[in-house]
Chain A
């Protein structure tokens, strides 16, 4: 009952935006809300179900975005000819170096071990750089204003969503293998670090996804507004609803995105609910609540943690791919941990950790507030500063500061919910 009421309230908020502001902004909030809900679902799987503290969500989201570029953009054949093979060979050599170093470490012992491993790494690194660097230079020299990267595979963009999940899952596997099983704080710092590294790689490796020059004009799974406006049949139908072609086309595109996202969310939600209620879900909660007891019952805690960590991160990757598809561009410079990691945490905590519906609710509610705090804050500040003389220093400063209000608001919301509803708006049953 409470669930229905709260969801109705959030729906009311979004509908209210539609009536008061515009349907376009309401749909925009709804679409990003759907994506946020998917991310929150992934984090809830890790935190709510297994108690894993992942603060590297941003990294997995970004990897999802990278998948969109790698899958959907057409390949740049000139770049492939210039250095594609060299880059692939270089990457293989780099991976081989790490494998060789690990093998060397495992097979040897005694004094030679440390120096030998270091030597293997050093020699491998030099060969790797010697192969990779010229190819990278060649690729980045190919039409740098428009391309300068290898491009993607030119496949349908929807395929990028599962691939984004796979990329994120692969990264999560590597991190989980090293950091899980250590203390929980260490996992937190390790994930925080890996997220920064993913961003650094995307910003710097221009051959991969153009770095800070951004990849724009990603293919879309839905029609373009311009095409719709030029389609007489569509304009006619829009006129039937009493809408002009431009508004109708923007709304139509957003609704179609919304349906796609909603389909993903519903599938993932159903799967999560089934998982939660299955023996597997009960086992996960048992491990979360008492690790030692679960271990004594013969459960492989570390392996289960790795499993759920990979699954949750994959969901974040899917959400990241969806978001980049919606944006139509990949801009590594715009990823910030406060927005893409800690805000998702606020969603999960506020919604109710351990409750999938709660996470979804938190996703919608917090995203709505994140967007609307600014206009509301602006109104408040205008009211407060109404008595001040125009052009006064303080008034300008106060009005200017409104754009930073959302961070403060999110912090206060998180602290209030933690204090008053420590288990979230929709507690775990």
Chain B
């Protein structure tokens, strides 16, 4: 019984939050890795692209709510996601047309594009703050829990409760659907295959008649959609704040690099590696250990390896370890 209680506590505080957070990171890292694979630069504006998409979604959600539209037990924001994707897509396509295209035509060095993306990051960040403001917004509505801690206790008679929030379930379901669609697209459709060819060998792809501008356009479409979905899921799970989204850049990049930059499968694996380490290392294990260990060995302290403020340190340390021992990432990077 104690073991079962221990497992429920573990699931409640570590497994479920880490799976939800990992899915969000994976979607973000997929965007970074696609840009890296096809446009060949590290996009520093990715966190703020997520912020813009989420902002449009939040505004649309408020609009829908004002009109009295609701999605039953599910958050209204899910209905508003298409509008958010449209907004983010419009913005990145405009950016590409007026900013990135010039450097692509010049065949500028990747690091120049990185600096350009820094400028874009400033602009997106400023836009978000001007339009919606720098504050914290919660926009999740509908049913809060699928199973609340008390219902679970009543149902099973265990001491520990297991709370399953609606947003967590939505995150995982959406992430699986989006990733499945993405891989289907990359592996089965003509456009997807041409994207992979372009990423593998640009010259050869051009020679075989692939239109580079079309590949770039489709890439931006996918990246804007992924960023918006990732941003909205993160915002539903926690809250929306411009600065937090900017800070997500670090774990997202860490996930993409740990998995192997340019490798979509790696991005997903990296997202979960980072999320599980972050949650696991900053969680106070006392509760779980008290159930699992015999009473004589019960710990006195919280058994928390690092306080939650150090979660960025965790992504960083994982990143450094992987870079030292496997510089190309867990999955060999640099091709789609």
Contacts and interface: CB of A to CB of B under 8 A. Distances in A.
Interface of A: 51, 53, 125, 133, 178-179, 182-186, 188-190, 192-194, 196-197, 200, 203-204, 336-338, 342, 345-346, 349, 400-401, 404-412, 414-415, 418-419, 422
19 contacts: A182-B323, A185-B110, A188-B42, A189-B319, A190-B319, A193-B254, A193-B319, A200-B309, A204-B307, A204-B309, A336-B243, A349-B115, A401-B131, A404-B130, A407-B122, A411-B119, A411-B120, A411-B124, A411-B126
A411 B44 CA distance: 13
The number of chain B residues touching the other chain, given as a range, is: 35 or more
Contacts of A405: 126, 130
A192 B122 contact: no
B324 interface: yes
Interface string B119-158: 1111111110111011000000000000000000000000
A15 to B, nearest CB: 28
B249 interface: yes
B184 interface: no
B250 to A, nearest CB: 6
A88 to B, nearest CB: 21
Contact of A345 (B102, B118, B126): B118
**Interface secondary structure of B, over-half rule:** helix
Contacts of A401: 129-131, 133
A194 B310 CA distance: 11
A178 B118 contact: no
B91 to A, nearest CB: 13
A404 B123 contact: no
A33 B119 CA distance: 21
Contact of B253 (A192, A200, A336, A407): A192
Given A197-B313, A337-B246, A338-B246, 7 more contacts: A178-B324, A200-B312, A200-B313, A338-B122, A349-B115, A400-B133, A407-B125
Contacts of A336: 243
A372 to B, nearest CB: 16
B320 interface: yes
Nearest to B304: A129
Contacts of B115: 345, 349, 414, 418
Q: Which of B124, B134, B312, B315 has the most CB of A within 10 A?
A: B312
B210 interface: no
Given A182-B323, A193-B319, A415-B120, A404 B134 contact: yes
B250 A189 contact: yes
Contacts of A190: 316, 319-320, 323
Contacts of B110: 185
A194 to B, nearest CB: 7
Contact of A185 (B114, B120, B126): B114
A71 to B, nearest CB: 26
Contact of A194 (B125, B253, B316): B316
Nearest to B130: A401
Interface of B: 42, 99, 102, 110-112, 114-116, 118-127, 129-131, 133-134, 243, 246-247, 249-250, 253-254, 257, 261, 301, 305, 307, 309-310, 312-313, 315-316, 319-320, 323-324, 327
B98 to A, nearest CB: 9
A47 B134 CA distance: 32
Contacts of B99: 415
Given A415-B120, A418-B116, A338 B313 contact: no
Contacts of A51: 111
A336 B307 CA distance: 21
A184 B111 contact: yes
B116 A415 contact: yes
Contacts of A346: 118-119, 122
Given A178-B320, A349-B115, A404-B129, A415 B254 contact: no
Nearest to A186: B323
B123 A412 contact: yes
B313 to A, nearest CB: 5
A188 B118 contact: no
Nearest to A412: B123
A408 B319 CA distance: 31
A400 B135 CA distance: 13
B257 A186 contact: yes
A182 B322 CA distance: 12
A205 to B, nearest CB: 10
Nearest to A345: B118
A406 B112 CA distance: 23
A182 B327 contact: yes
Contact of B114 (A182, A188, A194): A188
Q: Which of B126, B129, B133, B313 has the most CB of A within 10 A?
A: B126
